[in-house]
Structure formats: C-alpha cells, structure tokens
Structure 1
Amino acid sequence: MKLKPFALLLTSLFPLASQAAEPQVDRYVVTFPQGDHVEYQGAYTANFPNGLPVGVGSGLQFIRKDGDALVFATVTDRGPNADSPKSGKKESKIFANPKFTPLLMTIRVAGGKAEATDAHALHDENGPISGLPLPEGLIGATNEIALGDTLQQLSSDKRGLDTEGITPDGKGGYWLCDEYGPFIINIDANGKILKKYGPQAEQGEQGVAGGLPNIIKWRQANRGFEGITRMPDGRIIAAVQSTLDIDGKTKNTAQFTRLVSFNPATGKTEMYGYPIDVDVYKKAKDAKIGDIVALDDNRLLLIEQGGDKNKVMRNLVYVVDLSQASDLSSFDKEKAPEFDDAAQLKARGIKLAQKKEVVDLRKLGWQQEKAEGMTLIDNQTIAVINDNDFGLQPVLENPEDDAKKADQYEVDGKGHLTRDGKEVATKISLKPLEEPESQNELWVIKLPEALK
C-alpha cells in the first residue's frame, strides 16, 4: 500500500530553490499478499484471531530493478517477543511463538505497493533454527530468561539467532548479522547457514563460533550487531548497536560504538570507533545504530537513533568516513578505549571515524521509533524500513495500587509475577500494537544531491 508521496517544503524567500534542495519521499506500508502470518495459539489467541503479522524489516538490501519495480531482500529478527519483568537480576523476554524460525523474504515495490513474499526459513544441517537465546555460560550469551506467554520458563538454544542485518555475499547468497553472539552468518539464497563467526573464545571460555575479536562479547544484551554491509573490496563491516559494556563499566560513558571489519578471504579483523552524538543523550548507552550501507571502500551510510535527553526520538543518517580512523585492536591490548573520555582518546592518538549528516528522518515525517533497515538504490536514492515487532505488546493486567509499572514486579519462571518474593494476582497479557507501530513502513528517499 502506497502512502501519499511526501516532500518536505521549507518556507523561504526562494520557494523553488527550497523545494529542489529537499529530499523527495515515497512511502509504503508492506503487505503480505500470500497471507503470511506467524502462527499463534497461546493464551491470548482471542486478541490475535488471524495470528501475528510477520515482522520483516530488521535488515534491508536492494537487489535489482525489474522494469519499474524495485526488489529488496529483508530478514526478520528472532520472532514475536515482548519485554517482561526481571527474574532476580536477570532480564527476561516473553516469546509468543517459541518455535518461530527467523525468515529471509523478498519485498517487491511496484504499482504503488510494497509486497513481501517468498519466505525462506533460516536453517542449518540440523534443520530450522530458532530465535531463542543462547544457553547461559556460552560466550555471547545474553543471560536473559526465555518465557512462554504464560510466563513459564523455556529452554535456551545454542543454535538460536536474533538476525538484524543483511548484505550480499557476492556469490548469490547473503551475510547476516545477529544480536546474540554477536554473530556474522553466511547463508545461501535459500536461507541455509554456510558459516558462522562470533567472538573468539579465550582460555576458560566456551563459544558457539569464533574468528571475531573477543572484546565484542561485551555488547549490551540485545545490543549486538545491528547492521552489516559488504564493502566493494569484499570486507564485511558489522556495527555493534550501542556502546560496549566492558566489565559492566563502560556503557554509560564510552564515546563510541564499534564497527568490526572482517575479511572472509583471510580472516583478518579490524575495529573502528564510530563517534556517537554523546552530548545529545542522557547516557551514552541510549544511542543505537540502525543499519549501515557501504558507499566505497572507506565510507558508509549509518543510521544513528535513540531518545535524547528529553526522551525525544531522533533518527539521523550520516556518511561515515573510516579512512583516517584508528584500528582499535592494538589499543585494546593496553586498555580498552571505551574507558577513555575525548581528551584521553586524543592523548593516546586514537582517531575515531569522521561523520557528516545526510538526512534527518524525523524532519521528513518519520514516526516509527526505529529505522532498522537501510539500503542504497543508486548514488542519490536510499530506502529505509522499520521492524513492526510482529504487532504485539505486553500489557500489565490487574496491577497493584502502588505498582503500576512492569519493572516493579519479578517473574518466578513458573507462571507468576511476584513482589518482594510473594506471588501476586497481577499478570502480563499480550495485545496488538496500534497503527502505525504495528505496520512495516518502507520509504524510498531521493536525496537532493548524489552521495559522492
């Protein structure tokens, strides 16, 4: 479904020049003509009589033009899940359909419509994978508790993936990135996992996959790799969504988040610091990367987003130049640069990447919380998409008078909410998200000037 074409117009003494200098936007809501949906037969089936909407848009990759049609590849994340209270000191998540398998899909934009079809379940030699978290104790585990919709504890899965980005591998398949490990995964065109890389385990550690720098194991839970792109020279760049939390001490103050470079041909890795807009946020951890897209061997587009000091969402696209950025790997041996402020980084000779704003999505009318997928159509046109979180949200039912927020409770993993160790009558139900949050919006944006 195509929304009304949108162009932001500025009041100016020279209106024609002003109009020519503004991005032009075609906006679509992604539909599923084959009736795709996520099966749901849980405790709140009455709230979702047709199942759950598919949540594409965690990553986006332009593939080709078919006449006037635009064809994209996209992926889902780990599946329909919702926040729930902690279990002791551990985070927990409600998985509405624990059997969900992350999907690779195609989006075709033509005739005023954006339609998602051709779903392929991600799988390996043992069959379809799941979106459940890794077992506790493995390097990269989030240590969050997986719960069913009645708050009963579920099993973890060392094959679980939370996919968040997609880029071509140059051989007909794709590279994906993941928030758990965090992992970089090579798949074929049918979604079969060919290779998987993750933080290299050190002595005394156990990992699912290796080959990537060990330090990225310190990603915040659910803040692993959020974007991935393949550079023209074949290197893969994966973006850690937010600041690393090394030894639980750096997430609130680090000046940057990491861009990890991986050469599949040689196994060589490097890491660069992307400077977040630290002064805009209450804490550095509030900044999030949405996606990245290669422009050439040294530059890429990057979405930075998050709630500012006034809790106002921002979604900005930057051009990021890595040509003068330091490889952080050598500095990590002395002390991780995440512990340094701006002056200390300079004193150590650490140069972060350079950045320049390209477009502010909020100024164009973007209302979704996050833009999670971005791709380059040509040197003047980009596309962005959100993830609709499978159209569900958790709702606190029958809260106690002095505890109206979910984080004032705990879960016991046996189906109950508790306060101060005592079971309460309060429950968490699952209900549909309202529009526009429940929709997948895809925007095609023509920029005023070519990306040079």
Structure 2
Amino acid sequence: MKKWIANTSMLLALSVAVTGTAFAATKSGETSEQITYANNGKAVVPSTPAVNIDGSLYLPVRALAEATGKYVDWDEFRDSVALTDKPSLTGKYELKAPNLADGIKMGVGSSLTHLPGDPDNVFYTTADRGPNGQIDVNGKTVRTFPLPNYTPTIYKIEASGGEIKILDKWPLKLTGNDPVTGTSFITGLPNIKGRDEAPFDAKGEKELAYDPYGLDIEGLAYNSKDDTFWISDEYGPSIVHVKRDGTIIERIVPQGWSAQAATPLVPARETLPAVYNKLRQNRGAEAVGITPDGKYMFMAMQNALRNPDKAMDNSRQVRILKFDLATLKPVAEFTYLLEDSKQFKDLVQGDIVISDLIAVNENTLLIDERDKFSGDKAQLKRIYQVDLSTATNVLGKYDSADTAGKTLEQMSVQDLKTNGILPVKKWTVLDAVGFKFPYEKIEGISLVNGDTLVLTNDNDFGIDSKTPENGTLLWTFKLPYKIQ
C-alpha cells in the first residue's frame, strides 16, 4: 500500500486516499483498471487507477480531484490539501489600436485594477516603461529604447463588444520639468548609472541619458481613502504615489537609494529595507495592492533578491511586504514560495515569477504566478489565493546570514522548516494554461464583486516577441465562490 501511494504522482507524495461506494472486482490490495467513472454524467478517466482494499475502492486525492474537475494543492508546511472548483471563462476581449511606430505595437496590460463604483467592465491599467529590447552589438547584449521619450501612462479602459477600448489616459508627470524631456512628463528610462541596465538608442550604438524620475511601472493599486493610485516600479525597486491626473507625489525606495539619485521634485521615502537594493535587474517590484479599507498596502517582488549573490536567481523565496499606509512603513514581511521548477519541463527556477497581486483584505491576497513560455509550451499560468494569517513575519530577521547562518533566499525548504518559517498558504483559483491563454505575460489581474476574476497580458509593445501576432487580451472568469 505504501508503495502504491508513493507512485500516485504526487498528490505530492500524499498519504491520503478517498473511498468510493463501489466494490472492486479485483483482489484486495490490487489496482483495477477496468472500472469506469463518470462525473455529472460525463465519462472521466482518473490519472491513477483505484486500488481495492477490503472491498472498497481508494483513489489518490489528486486523481479524484482532477477527474471531478477540481484543482488540488498540497501544503507540505501545514500537511493540508485544498480542493477548489474550476472557474468558467465568461468573456474575451482584444485591444485593437494603431501602432506607436513601425514595428512597435500599442499595448497596455502590465497592471489591472477595478475602482469601486465603476461599471463592472471598466478598469485602470498601465503599459510599462515603454518599448525596449535587447540586441547584440559587437558581442555584447545591450538594452535599447527606440522611443526614449515615451511617457509611462495610466489608462482607463472598457471591455465591451469583444474589444478593449481606451476611454482616457494620464501620462505620468512632475510638478516641474524632467531633466531628460525638458517638460513635466517623465520617461521610462533607468535611474542610476552603474546600478540599472544601461539604456541605448535603437541601434545600440549610443548610450542614452539616465532619468532619476524614470519609472518601469508594473503594478497599479487604488486607494479610495484619498482617491490616489500607487504604482510598483521595477527600477528602485520602489512604490510611487500618484494623483488621479498622473502627477507623481512621492516615492518609497530602499534605504540608501536617494544618495544615488537626486529627485527634488519627488520626495524619496527610504522606508523599504536596505536588502531590497539587492534586486536582480529588471526583476524588481512587480506587484502592489491596497486593502479596500485603505489601511494596508502590499508589495511583491518579481523574483528572489540576489541576497547575498547572483546564485539566488534560483531561489524559490520571494518577499511580500505589508505597509501601514498611514505611516508608509512596513509592518510585516512574508515568504512566498514559488512553484518548484523541477516539476516542469525545460524551465529553470529563475524564470518562474510573480506578476501581479490583489489585496482582498488584510489576510487575503490573489497572486499571479507564471513561467516564461507562451502557447503550447506554457506550463505555469496560475492565479493563487493566498492566506497570510498563519505565515511567519520575517521582517528584518533574515536579511543577512547572521541570524540563521543563511539569508532567507539561501534557505532550502528544510531550512525554512528548521527555522520555523511558515511561507504563505496558497491554493489555485485559476490555471490559465487549462484555458489555453495564448500569451506569455499575464501581468494584470483584478477582482470584481468578489467572484469575477479578470486578467490581461502585457505584450511588451511587440518588441522581441516570439509570436508575431502577440497582442493584448483581457479575459473574464466566473469563480465558483466569492473571495472577500
């Protein structure tokens, strides 16, 4: 029996079985592959055959859940199983907009949020830092910005008639002039020479000016308490406070950041822990969310920090910070454990990322976790519900190796258990691979009325796209229960 359980493909080696009401025609302890199964009148085939024990049929939880159309998640830190009914796809919408330039597509979708009181089909979103790509110049790979004066922008969109329609837009701006543009509008260029990726022109021949106010905007959250937005930025990493008209108010940055960049028009609040300076380039603050009551804000990094070094690109531990919005100071930090790349084909750990989050309440988040593949190669495009209530607050405890002999990023799963660190609890509410979402970068998610999940993708302006038809889609799903 133990051998049979160990070979049931996972259930993640779960020693849990579910009994049926039928009797097997085989001898006790043997599997029976002749038995047929039906779920709501439709024939199904479990991934593992049942075993007969003393006249009753037993199936692994994973096999039973998959056969009955449920997601199943195993939490090895809490010895718990979560079974969740799958949602239904209710709408598909596509952005049809003119190109920004030859070979450069218009795009939105690096974030998505729904404002209370708005129609259910109206959202706010952003594109990221603007068109950029990588080319090889004399044997060196450089980052190019073919439209260097592109202004990161907040868009108001509507999903109707199968289309994503742009209703309004607010380019991000300062109360004075940006040093690069000479106007109030900022750019998406990197901030600090030697720290951020060097920006080059379209041909990769000329290094461009750095913009201390430049933003690579990825996440968008709304605070109904003061009618403002907060944007997560990959460069700082930082979180940027913005008025509804796009005027930048202030910026939360890591300790020590402001000594490297002069931003007199935008106060830099150094309330992020200094360890966040150890980000992997282009893998910074990817997601931000605010609780409906406006009390707390959450920020998630895209990948593990390089803490202490580049080898941590293969760490599964990603940090989520919780802020008190009244003080703009972090009050908690949690460990989010990314999926293990070993369970997928041709996928390295560093290419599994967090791409967005929704703060449902103080203890409940929705997290967008994905791989780097698209189309038939995609294996991980999931939205997880996350429970923080039992997760360990690690704020300031494992930023260096002094405390436990290892940083948080260096720890293995066993190290986390040994040190009594409980990552957040998570379970699947949507697997977009199962619905054949075609594009790689699902980067915007929103929740409407607690039971309508909306997602959209960032097409990166079509630059370096592996799929020529890569566009921007918005899909809606009806969840089987309200998340509130």
- TM-score when scaled to structure 2? 0.73
Counterpart residue number, 2:468: 434
Counterpart residue number, 1:98: 148
The separation in 2 between residues aligned to 1:57 and 1:80, in whole angstroms, is: 14
RMSD of equivalent CA atoms:
2.9
- What is the CA distance between 1:15 and its match in structure 2? 4.5
Counterpart residue number, 1:291: 356
Is 1:345 aligned to 2:383, yes or no? no
Asked whether the 8 Å contact 2:220–2:232 carries over to 1, the reply is yes
The partner residue of 1:14 within 24, 37, 41 is 41
The partner residue of 2:435 within 339, 349, 364 is 364
Asked whether the 8 Å contact 1:56–1:75 carries over to 2, the reply is yes
Asked whether the 8 Å contact 1:55–1:79 carries over to 2, the reply is no
1:136-173 deviation digits (Å, cap 9, x = unpaired): 24xxx32x221111212212221111000101022222
User: Secondary structure of the residue that 2:409 maps to in structure 1?
Assistant: helix
Counterpart residue number, 1:420: none
Asked whether the 8 Å contact 1:83–1:394 carries over to 2, the reply is no
Change (3 A) 1:193 1:338: same
Counterpart residue number, 1:398: none
Counterpart residue number, 1:156: 210
1:56-94 deviation digits (Å, cap 9, x = unpaired): 111001125666x611001110001112237888x6211
Change (3 A) 1:66 1:283: closer
The separation in 2 between residues aligned to 1:186 and 1:311, in whole angstroms, is: 37
Counterpart residue number, 2:380: 314
The partner residue of 1:274 within 331, 336, 361 is 336
Asked whether the 8 Å contact 2:378–2:433 carries over to 1, the reply is no
The separation in 2 between residues aligned to 1:157 and 1:66, in whole angstroms, is: 35
Change (3 A) 1:248 1:235: same
Counterpart residue number, 1:304: 369
Is 1:197 aligned to 2:252, yes or no? yes
Counterpart residue number, 1:326: 392
The partner residue of 2:272 within 205, 212, 215 is 212
Change (3 A) 1:189 1:15: farther
The partner residue of 1:380 within 440, 451, 456 is 451
Asked whether the 8 Å contact 1:232–1:297 carries over to 2, the reply is no
User: Secondary structure of the residue that 1:222 maps to in structure 2?
Assistant: coil
User: Secondary structure of the residue that 1:320 maps to in structure 2?
Assistant: strand
- What is the CA distance between 1:322 and its match in structure 2? 1.1
Counterpart residue number, 1:83: 134
- What is the CA distance between 1:112 and its match in structure 2? 3.9
Same amino acid, percent of matched pairs: 30
The separation in 2 between residues aligned to 1:176 and 1:226, in whole angstroms, is: 9
The partner residue of 2:160 within 102, 110, 115 is 110
The separation in 2 between residues aligned to 1:352 and 1:263, in whole angstroms, is: 21
The separation in 2 between residues aligned to 1:73 and 1:285, in whole angstroms, is: 29
Counterpart residue number, 2:59: none
The separation in 2 between residues aligned to 1:249 and 1:147, in whole angstroms, is: 24
- What is the CA distance between 1:219 and its match in structure 2? 1.6
Change (3 A) 1:131 1:225: same
**How many aligned residue pairs are there?**
384
Counterpart residue number, 1:166: 220
User: Secondary structure of the residue that 2:204 maps to in structure 1?
Assistant: coil
Counterpart residue number, 2:232: 177
- What is the CA distance between 1:254 and its match in structure 2? 2.2
Counterpart residue number, 2:113: 61
Asked whether the 8 Å contact 2:191–2:261 carries over to 1, the reply is no
Asked whether the 8 Å contact 2:303–2:313 carries over to 1, the reply is no
Counterpart residue number, 2:191: 134
Counterpart residue number, 1:256: 317
Say which structure, 1 or 2, has more relative contact order (CA 8 Å, 6+ apart). 1
- What is the CA distance between 1:12 and its match in structure 2? 4.5
Structure 2: unaligned runs, 5 residues or longer: 1-37, 44-67, 71-84, 178-183
